[in-house]
Amino acid sequence: MSRLRDLALGLSLTLAALPAAGEIAFVTCQTGDAVSVLDLDSGEERARWDVPGKPAGVAVGGGAVFTVSPDSKTVRRYALNGEVTASVVLDGGPIGTAYDARNNRLFVSDWYNARLWTLDGTTLELEAELPAGAAPAGLALSPDGRLLASAERDADRISLYDTATLALLRSVPVGTRPFGLGFAPDGRLFVGNVGSNDLSVIDPQAGEVLATVAVGERPYGVAFAAGRAFVTNQYENTLSVIALADLSPVATLDTGEYPEGIAATADGRIAVANWFDNTLSVIDAESLETVALLDTADGPRAFGAFLYDGDLP
């Protein structure tokens, strides 16, 4: 019995010493025709995948990474090891994407034809086309996965869809030229309006704009952590930080040049893709300090949900 206890103790100590699974960023790099696979804990670029066609849109989910290459009109599904498991060429202007884990569906916005494509999340076979306003760009899913939001830039509105039935539920006017958007943990929808330099904060159930919040010049993406919203301001090379409780300004943080895609890690960090600097900034959401600056391939965009909470195979 003593030997068994010693073995069990040794095994537990060994397991405790192993590194915990960390957060992995899959950063689409448009100019470099690549995805940079970055370990946010070690700072290491674990891999660099070749992705032809100037990839911009990205979604991570269902054990896969989805990329959208607007120049070649190609959507690809990658396993986490970088193997291409499916691809499809879409006749239009694919740009934004979001993965629906509840229904194993991939949504892709068609910039040119005012529609959304619904694809099977495994095969990328076309399932449906949904009507949208002019120039749909960013897509986002609600925390419970029941709603899909689409930012329709040239219509100055967002549209909301039921992910189970694919029905268009309502459209809501917002500021000028909405592009990126995201749902806060409490279910409110935050929309970055690149033409009016503000955020529209929406109650998606009522279809009402609750508030309009001024941010920096040309807000692009939004993420949430530590009770705050973080908004990338492309033309100012900054992040606007806003308190979720009362929508008051908290701080304006410097980033790299031309910040675009943004996402929050599971442990409360904010990752920001700096398009012109070829870097990914990692910021502590509580202290608001930049804790790491990671190199990427050329032209990181990371337009979508690009983080994976776990280790690679």
End-to-end Cα separation, the chain, in angstroms = 36
44-85 per-position pLDDT tens digit: 999 999 999 999 999 999 999 999 999 999 999 999 999 999
Share of the chain above pLDDT 90, in %: 92
Per-residue pLDDT band for 313 (boundaries 50, 70, 90) equals: confident
- Domain-wise residue ranges, the chain: 21-309
178-201 per-position pLDDT tens digit: 999 999 999 999 999 999 999 999
Give me the DSSP letters along 153-177.
GGGTEEEEEETTT--EEEEEE-SSS
Stated length of the chain: 313
CA torsion sign for 47, 48, 50, 52 is positive
Question: Given this model, what pLDDT does residue 311 score?
Answer: 82
Question: Given this model, what pLDDT does residue 11 score?
Answer: 31
78-118 per-position pLDDT tens digit: 999 999 999 999 999 999 999 999 999 999 999 999 999 99
Question: Given this model, what pLDDT does residue 6 score?
Answer: 38
Per-residue pLDDT band for 299 (boundaries 50, 70, 90) equals: very high
259-278 mean pLDDT: 97
The one-letter amino acid code at 313 reads P
Q: State the Cα–Cα distance between residues 34 and 126, nearest whole angstrom.
A: 25
130-183 per-position pLDDT tens digit: 999 999 999 999 999 999 999 999 999 999 999 999 999 999 999 999 999 999
3-40 per-position pLDDT tens digit: 323 333 333 332 333 334 479 999 999 999 999 999 99
277-289 mean pLDDT: 98
Q: State the Cα–Cα distance between residues 191 and 201, nearest whole angstrom.
A: 7
Tokens for 256, please give them. 């790299």
Fold of 21-309: Methylamine Dehydrogenase; Chain H (2.130.10)
